[in-house]
Structure 1
Amino acid sequence: MLSATADPGALGVGAQTLGTVCMWAAVLLRLPHTLGSRQQRELWLAGLAAAAANTLDLDSVGALIDRSFGSLHSVDLVRNICGLISAFALLELVHSLTTSSRRRALLVWLRVAACCVVAGLLAMEVLYGPHGRHLVQGGPAPSPPAPYWLLIIATHLAVNALALLVFLNLGRHCADRSLKAGLLLLAFGTAMAGVFWLNALAHLLGHTLAAAVQPFALALHVLLIAAALTVPTTYAARRTLSDVRDWWRIWPLWRDLVEACPQVLLAPRRSRLREVLWPVGPPRLLLYRQLVEIRDAILVLAPYATPELHACAWEFADTLDGSARAPGGRGRGRRAPDMAVARPAAVLAVVLKGARAARLSGAEPRHGTLPTAQIGADTLPDETAFLITVARIYRSAANPVHPHSPVSEEAPQ
């Protein structure tokens, strides 16, 4: 093998093995998502080739193949070709990130260059005739001779330097957090690959450096590339958990409203736990349906929101102090958002609680009642946050209308 793994310490070998396992996990995890994006396919191919190269670089894998087929020399060659494929796939990713239009000519030339480098590697392999394992160091001279390794090292260093500059530049100026994280991880991953190949070049030129650095550089390289591959999945999982958490917090409010207004349901009711464990759709869709049904329930309950109820709601909202703590009940001591959000949320919570109690008590809806307090948000995330505050205050607020108390007949002027 390369001198990188000629005599690594046990820790270095363990780190490289761990990195390789993580890379394979990331490659398999990202496979279903590579069909719709060219850039995702290029990154996935780079990760797949790098995972294959690092797998073949492991001593345990080499020993297993040697016992089974007695062909370690072929393993070395395939490993180096996989490394070059990974490098050129990364170069295609750089091309697609830096060109605004599809410049097919440049892409074709990149692929021609990749074929030429691989063909040159194979030609030198045949030209040099029988030789030992592929090593930069470990004997009196590198095997195969230096030109073979110079071609490999120069290709990797050129690609790594270009990719590092592009990924760093794009990552620093990227507004999207997910894309920014992926680009910076790619930048640091290519930097670690650069460290590996710079050390290999130093060995080729006769400078003795710490060989133990090599497996750690490879381990960091594959771990960072694996992390970059899983960034979209990680962010999607985080968003899913956030949606489930928000849905769970709003559920008590939704349950009380649809109990009073079952006609707003867009699908049959299911238990809270069953909806989480066996959802009938993506969490984002379930959350959106929940918000739609709450909006519809607000419209149904609007005729039950009397002026007295609104007055009671504003009186309750005025009792919130500057820290926006909901007085009384289970909400005591829990901070809500700022007062600009907490007061409208408190008004809506009390109005909904009173209107629901009036409807369930059999009171007649009134014409000319005051408009129900509006949801204080224009976007889905803001609306979700607002209704979470409403749900929290709803649980802590006292019922302002007794279910059997008469409702005033006097309409507002």
Structure 2
Amino acid sequence: MGNGAQAVGNVCMWAAVLLRLPHILESRRQRELWLAGFAAAAATTLDLDGVRDVVDRTFGGLHSVDLVRNVCGLVSSFALLEVVHSLTADARRRARLRWLRGTACCVVAGVVVLDMMHRPHGGQLILEDSSPTPSTAYWLLIIATHMTANVLCVMVCLSRGRQCTNGFLKTALFLLGSGAAMAGLYWLGALSQLLGHAWSVPVQPFALALHGLLVAAALSVPSIHTARRALTDLRDWWLIWPLWRDLVEVCPQVLLSPRRSRLQEILCPQGPGRLLLYRKLMEIRDAILLLDKYVTPELHASAQAFADRSGRRTRGSAAVSSSAKDHSAAVLAVVLKGARAACLAAACPRRSTIPIARIGADTLPDETAFLVEVSRIYRTAPTPVHPHTPVTEETAQ
């Protein structure tokens, strides 16, 4: 079970590493975290019994595999230390970074030298009933490096996580710190084995499995955030489409690109989702400005009355008071419906009219939410009789 759990954690870590590969050039911190995850994934892969058996049967070099595994583990630890270093604010950061990288080179070189100084041997193991291979100093250097990196990572992640206000960053720090704690538990078990205690042998594979899962989750947080934002943009784009369609039908001059069907936009988008949504918002705003000349005091009064009635119904049925933005959204929905009807009926626009209902937002996310609410009300709101519409004899009767 331990080997199976370790394999699952390893697969998840590789998936997260490959998922973040296209984004590692965005920032130095992203590159350092990705390198830590990549090196850790390589080290845990070479620690799997199945991989070791295949390499032994194919190449017959368990000694080289184990040395590469431990070097990859050290690279992962020092990359993690660089991540921890980048999370701290200090005037001496550059000097400490040079010292850290110099120490990393010395430790890796020291591990290789200690391995070469030992008599010829096969796999590198900490055995319960005999001395470790290659030497106790070799394993102490590796364990001390890993324990130092993991303890510092846990401390900094907890400290920065408590101060962070960004939910996704706080989650990533918590996951990274938890993964470092699991790796620390693994190396604590290795230290106990080195001291002659075997309590950690059944625990270590599960610690590595949890380490892989948590580090994979930490690496995936930016991708999850991006996917969530893309789905939110797609949902908002879908919800405002009916309002956009009706407005550009009477104001085609606001279109920034040729009009396409909803299915064409989804199957063959002409740009990222956020850009498509922003374009729809701009075209709706431009259409609102063009329809402003069809707004009359009577139409505005009718929209106000509808918004007041809707607010009273909401309070009575759901015991929820209608906010000012909900009221503004209801007014704007009815005003747009009446102005559009007047435009379609070829009514004479008024040059001197009251301003159309204001957009109830100051930021792009708030404006998007506001227009989504306008679109929802627009679909079911009644079409008021516009005073500009010519009155025929049938209408008068």
TM-score range, shorter chain: over 0.9
The whole-number CA distance in structure 2 between the counterparts of 1:93 and 1:387 is 41
Give the drift of 1:162.
0.9
Does residue 125 (structure 1) correspond to residue 109 (structure 2)? The answer is no
The whole-number CA distance in structure 2 between the counterparts of 1:76 and 1:323 is 72
Letter aligned with residue 46 of structure 1 = A
Q: How does 1:296-335 map to 2 (within 5 A)?
A: 296-322=286-312, 324=314
Which secondary structure state, in structure 1, belongs to the residue aligned with residue 311 of structure 2?
coil
Q: Which residue of 2 aligns with 1:251?
A: 241
User: Please, which of 274, 279, 284 is the counterpart of residue 284 of structure 1?
Assistant: 274
Summarize deviations over 1:216-260 as a string: whole Å, max 9, x none: 100111111111111111101100100110111111001000001
Summarize deviations over 1:66-114 as a string: whole Å, max 9, x none: 1111111110111001000000011111112113557332211111111
> Which segment is superposed worse, 22-31 or 185-194?
22-31
Q: Which residue of 2 aligns with 1:72?
A: 62
Contact 2:337 2:383 in 1 (8 A): yes
Does residue 59 (structure 1) correspond to residue 59 (structure 2)? The answer is no
Instruction: Quickly say closer, same or farther: Cα 1:179–1:97, change in 2 above 3 A.
Output: same
Does residue 396 (structure 1) correspond to residue 380 (structure 2)? The answer is yes
Letter aligned with residue 285 of structure 2 = R
> Which segment is superposed worse, 196-205 or 29-38?
29-38
Summarize deviations over 1:324-369 as a string: whole Å, max 9, x none: 38x9xxxxx8999833122111110000000001001111111211
Q: Which residue of 1 aligns with 2:24?
A: 34
Q: Which residue of 2 aligns with 1:361?
A: 345
Q: Which residue of 2 aligns with 1:154?
A: 144
> Which segment is superposed worse, 250-259 or 108-117?
108-117
Give the drift of 1:277.
2.5
Q: How does 1:4-403 map to 2 (within 5 A)?
A: 11-100=1-90, 103-322=93-312, 324=314, 338-401=322-385
The whole-number CA distance in structure 2 between the counterparts of 1:317 and 1:143 is 80
The whole-number CA distance in structure 2 between the counterparts of 1:384 and 1:288 is 9
Give the drift of 1:371.
1.0
Percent identical residues: 64
How many residues of Structure 1 are paired with residues of Structure 2 in the alignment? 391
Letter aligned with residue 325 of structure 2 = V
Summarize deviations over 1:14-44 as a string: whole Å, max 9, x none: 1111111111111111111111311111111
Which secondary structure state, in structure 1, belongs to the residue aligned with residue 288 of structure 2?
helix
Give the drift of 1:139.
4.1
Letter aligned with residue 375 of structure 1 = I
Which secondary structure state, in structure 2, belongs to the residue aligned with residue 150 of structure 1?
helix
Contact 1:303 1:369 in 2 (8 A): yes
Which secondary structure state, in structure 2, belongs to the residue aligned with residue 98 of structure 1?
coil
What TM-score comes out, normalization by structure 1 length? 0.91
Instruction: Quickly say closer, same or farther: Cα 1:249–1:334, change in 2 above 3 A.
Output: farther
Give the drift of 1:283.
1.1
Letter aligned with residue 375 of structure 2 = A
**How well do the aligned residues superpose, as a CA RMSD in angstroms?**
2.0
Which secondary structure state, in structure 1, belongs to the residue aligned with residue 360 of structure 2?
coil
Contact 2:298 2:387 in 1 (8 A): no
Give the drift of 1:179.
1.4
Letter aligned with residue 182 of structure 2 = M
Unaligned ranges ≥5, structure 2: 392-397
Give the drift of 1:404.
9.2
Which secondary structure state, in structure 1, belongs to the residue aligned with residue 361 of structure 2?
coil
Unaligned ranges ≥5, structure 1: 1-10, 328-332, 408-413
Contact 2:247 2:284 in 1 (8 A): yes
Contact 1:345 1:390 in 2 (8 A): yes
Contact 1:323 1:338 in 2 (8 A): no
The whole-number CA distance in structure 2 between the counterparts of 1:102 and 1:264 is 55
The whole-number CA distance in structure 1 between the counterparts of 2:301 and 2:225 is 44
Contact 2:154 2:178 in 1 (8 A): yes
> Which segment is superposed worse, 193-202 or 274-283?
274-283
Give the drift of 1:298.
0.6
Which secondary structure state, in structure 2, belongs to the residue aligned with residue 85 of structure 1?
helix
Which secondary structure state, in structure 2, belongs to the residue aligned with residue 324 of structure 1?
helix
Instruction: Quickly say closer, same or farther: Cα 1:302–1:337, change in 2 above 3 A.
Output: farther
Instruction: Quickly say closer, same or farther: Cα 1:309–1:335, change in 2 above 3 A.
Output: farther
The whole-number CA distance in structure 1 between the counterparts of 2:292 and 2:333 is 13
Instruction: Quickly say closer, same or farther: Cα 1:356–1:337, change in 2 above 3 A.
Output: farther
Contact 2:55 2:62 in 1 (8 A): yes
Instruction: Quickly say closer, same or farther: Cα 1:84–1:44, change in 2 above 3 A.
Output: same
Contact 2:42 2:72 in 1 (8 A): yes
